[in-house]
Structure 1
Amino acid sequence: MILQCEERLSVKGEARPGEWVTVSIGGNREKTCCQSDGHWEVDMPPLSAGGPYLLEICSSKEKLVYRDVYAGEVWLCSGQSNMAVTMGGHLRNSKLDENDFLSNRKSNPFRYFSMESIWPSYPVVWNWIAKYCINHYQGLRLKGWNDCTPEKINSLSAIAFFYGTYLSRQLEKPVGLIVNPVGGTAEYCWIERRLMQKEYPEILSDWYNNQKVTIWMKNRAIQNLGKRAVAYENLHPYYPGYCFEAFIRPVKDYAIKGCIWFSGESSAQLNDTGQFEKLQEMQIRNWRESFGKNFPFYYVQLHGMNYEQTFGEGLHYFYPEIRNSQRRLLSQIPDVGMAVSYDLSVMDNVHFRNRKPVGERLARLALHKTYGKGEIMPCGPLYHEALLRDNFIYIKFDWAEGLCTKDGDKPKTFEVAGKDKCFHPAKASIAGEEVILSCREVSEPVWVHYAFDEYPIDANLVNGEGVPAACFEERICKSVKSSSIESFPDIIE
């Protein structure tokens, strides 16, 4: 077990009404009387990072003893299938070396607690046992805390593994991961139903015919439950609020440092970025309220895939639009961060193979923003503003120290448009920490975007540490006067 260090810990349980319960750990001892409803709770003082600690919980007739308990950094790792892809799946395409495992795991253990679905939403018909368990929120396989050793990581999320490894190595503290992604889910699956009834009730009505719900999710739910399934006669993980009840409510009293999140694919089938942004904000706020703290929330900007070429003409996902929404949310929600993944995309597979860079990019965010390691670059170049001077567009970025391209070529996939939003490829050049664009096809530039495609694998802009720039689309700011453009003859040509 890993407990969150340096924060007060809530320990709770059940006993006979009126019975006294004593909790002790790390030299601290607290006593409480069980309430009339059979529940008790105590707050324990913060523990210093390290261990092992001995946790004892005693009543007059029972004693629970937990050995080998450590205090460290606890992170929730959640989302949909790209967070769920396990190390077992990752290792079918990649190999690990000695550096991927921690040499100091005896003094600073690295462990995970998996909340695995017994009946994932694969394309099969569930039997009555599966339906019964899903209806009663009993569809989890809990295996307790496991060490992240070569023998025990096959069922662990690959992104979570690489995130925790990078974090543990940098912090030199015990690290614990609570891992509970559910493949195919959308944001509303993870939001408490009472909050949606208050702030977004339209997502709750007539789910199977609701135009705000992804068709793919409806069809998979019907396949799992059977064609005769009636909405809410049987529950399903894709229903609004289900994953909150099954995967978040059981752990909301467990102290965590923060959360990493990978989702958005299901929402990308809908051309509704307003809904996505609203639900993502609601989810983060709901979770913070439930855990009782404004913890950091770091998420992945969507990868890419060529759906039309892979599955047939007419199938289109709004990946670029969702990526841009994810970027916009950085300025709308406090204490969040975003790691890119489009450079790892595979044209014909929604589950790209190389998981390690995503885990490490998420860890960069945590190390810089949460743990104050200012020497670590938190992310790749992030759009700041676009200014128009003499019909040249000057794009400024944050986190752009050492701005360059990964292949040594000119920056690619920049496009410019006028008011009509008809985009044309732009010539691009790097000047310091800016990119300068020109586009003769657009006489009055109004819009600019970068890597704005379902499968933007040609995008090549990175910072000095090789971290890719985030995708974006933005309106160009008003024209400003410029003294000279003679410094950029390559753009003029």
Structure 2
Amino acid sequence: MSRASQASHALRALFLLTACFHSCDAQLRLASYYGDHMVLQKAPARAVLWGYGPEGAHITVSLSGAIQQKTSPVTVTTGIWRVTLDPVDPGGPYMLIVSSDNSSVTLRDVLFGDIWLCGGQSNMYFQTSQIFNASSELALASKYPHVRPFMAGLNLSETELLDLIQVQIPWSVPTVGVLTEFSAVCWLFGRYLYDVLKYPIGLVESCWGGTTVETWSSVRALQRCRSEEIVVGPRNDSLLWNSMIRPLLNMTIYGAIWYQGEANTEYREDKYNCSFPAMIDDWRMAFHQGSSGQTDLDFPFGFVQLSTCHKNSTAEDFPNVRWHQTADAGFVPNQRMKKTFMAVALDLPDESSPYGTIHPRDKQDVAYRLVLGARAVAYNETDLPFHGPFPKEVLSLYSSIIINYDQEVSVTPSKDIFEICCLRDQAQGGVNSHWVPAPILQWASNAVRISTVSCQDSGVAGVRYAWKDWPCDFKACPIYSTDHMLPAPPFIVN
């Protein structure tokens, strides 16, 4: 047997042992992420429910409310039962009763709507109590009783788990107390989305500060970006996939949002253009399979492009990861990253953040930009501008370059936001060896002309925009869209 096959069999055995461990008490109960006040995925998808029970017991699930339904009995096998409800339109509340031969469990105030998974590291973990205008934002909690938060506990596992080890915040009707510790980006995204959709939104937070994309990726996904053999045993990679994502796969979800990448500026930065798209692909496949096809195989995935960290840094780690977040296309959706959307955040620095400059407090604009992307990509709102200007053509003229954008732009002068690399420098040390500022000379409704005087004796080998850790002050980058004032993302053309 190959080493890869041995690894697969070992993981399967550990998975079954985990299932047996969770069901050893032989009592009827649901998996950790079901409970009162929960949101289940609405029609046309079908919500999946599962849990534990006495071996051989017969389980039925009944739903009562605006509509009534009762599932056919299923048999508990290896301590596990699983049912799939018929599609339910958005709304509620419902009562859900899980019955076995001699016991039952009742869940109350159940809603049906769209479930969004919120993942990533510390800027997704960043709590609502920490943002600008936190008191005002928290005071709005009671006005959104149909936007329901849930938070997975922070736990590691060296093996893939069937269920969460711990629940930090069970499904809850939002209150100041609950939202104080809940992800600000996740909550604001759900709240803004509810304002548009007007039906329940379920928010599942599963994130951890300081973590790399590899930690959230399965071994299977990691193998797509490097060829080393699978190692059975302790490893840093996949630890949070095992404990905080793999257990959620049976849940039917609508989409996911993600804020992560800072940790990868210091770890496998050059692999992020592969590892991040590979993780998205793998999550989509795994949630689709885990929900027996109820979660779409191409469910929408939104993410936040990195904000800022060091104001005067000349290091290119943050710009490089921003670029890699788009699989080196500069924009999404693209051929490699279909049905994705991005919130650009490099114009939202926070020099006085008490949580460090890497943690800007303006999460409202981040969430607003994510929701624009979700409305366009996930909910098919046609003709909705949802991303900033991106070059569709770069023309080299005598002593200048014209960048034609894909939409109308609002421009303010800048001497150094654009940079060029001269052919003489490329010949001496590569295109990344020396970049010099290229001032903006003129602009039109959808074009910008920049100076190339610095390269006049040799010609231009490359052009880039906003290729700095901290390219501009708060909402003061020079190029925005005229619709919604969305910042132009960074780009590089060689």
Residues 432-464 of structure 1 show CA distances to partners (whole Å, capped at 9, x for unaligned) of 112222211113123111110111125321111
User: SS state of the match for residue 76, structure 1?
Assistant: strand
1: CA distance, partners of 2:163 / 2:75: 26
Q: Is residue 59–residue 76 contact of structure 2 (8 Å, CA) maintained in 1? A: no
Paired residues in the alignment total: 421
Please state whether the residue corresponding to 1:21 is helix, strand or coil.
strand
Secondary structure at 2:487's aligned position in 1? coil
User: 1:95: how far off?
Assistant: 3.9
The answer to whether residue 336 in structure 2 is matched with residue 324 in structure 1 is no
Alignment deviations for residues 138-192 of structure 1 (CA, whole Å, 9 cap, x no partner) = 7634331122333421011111121111111111111110001111111111111
Aligned residue among 142, 154, 162 for 2:168 = 142
Alignment of 1:50-65 (within 5 A): 50-65=91-106
Aligned to 2:448: 435
Partner of 1:249: 246
Kindly tell me: are residues 324 and 100 of structure 1, through their superposed partners in 2, closer, same or farther at Cα, counting changes over 3 Å?
farther
For 2:224 and 2:323, locate their aligned partners in 1 and report how far apart those are by CA, in whole Å: 27
2:471 to 450, 453, 456: 456
TM-score, normalised by the number of residues in structure 2: 0.78
Distance change (3 Å), C-alpha of 1:80 and 1:176: same
Alignment pair present for 1:115 and 2:141: no
Q: Would you say the 8 A contact 1:412–1:461 is kept in 2? A: no
Structure 2: gaps of 5 or more residues: 1-37, 289-296
In 1: Cα distance, 2:228 partner to 2:348 partner: 36
Residue 378 of structure 1: SS of its match in structure 2?
coil
Distance 2:57 2:450 in 1: 73
* Cα distance between partner residues in 1 of 2:447 and 2:58: 65
Rounded to whole Å, the distance in 1 between the matches of 2:318 and 2:268 is 9
Matched residue SS, 1:180: strand
Give the Å deviation of 1:101.
2.6
Greater Cα offset, 453-462 or 240-249:
453-462
Residue 393 of structure 2 corresponds to residue 352 of structure 1: no
- Matched-pair contact (CA < 8 Å) for 2:42–2:112: yes
Q: Which amino acid aligns with 1:321?
A: N
Which one of the candidate residues 6, 10, 31 is aligned to 2:72? 31
In structure 2, the partner of 1:445 is 460
Q: Structure 1 length normalisation: TM-score?
A: 0.78
CA distance change for structure 1 residues 364 and 183 in 2, over 3 Å: closer, same or farther?
same
> Does the 8 Å CA contact 1:30/1:44 hold for their aligned counterparts?
yes
Mapping of residues 40-79 of structure 1, within 5 Å: 40-79=81-120
Query: Is 1:337 matched with 2:341?
Result: yes
Tell me which residue corresponds to 1:468: 487
Deviations along 1:276-304, whole A, 9 cap, x unmatched? Answer: 11111211111001100211111111111
CA distance, structure 2, for counterparts of residue 87 and residue 118 of structure 1? 22
Matches within 5 A, 1:340-489: 340-347=344-351, 349-374=357-382, 376-398=384-406, 400-401=407-408, 403-405=409-411, 408-410=412-414, 413-419=417-423, 420=426, 421=431, 422-428=434-440, 429-443=442-456, 444-458=459-473, 459-464=477-482, 465-475=484-494
Where does structure 1 lack aligned partners over 5 or more consecutive residues?
A: 120-130, 207-230, 310-314, 476-493
- Which residue among 187, 190, 206 is the counterpart of 1:180? 206
In the alignment, which residue of structure 1 is the partner of 2:14?
A: none
CA contact (8 A) 1:424 1:439 kept: no
- The secondary structure found in structure 1 opposite 2:325 is helix
Shift in Å, 1:8: 1.3
Contact persistence 1:204–1:240 (CA under 8 A): no
Distance 1:31 1:356, change over 3 A: same
1:97 is aligned to: 136
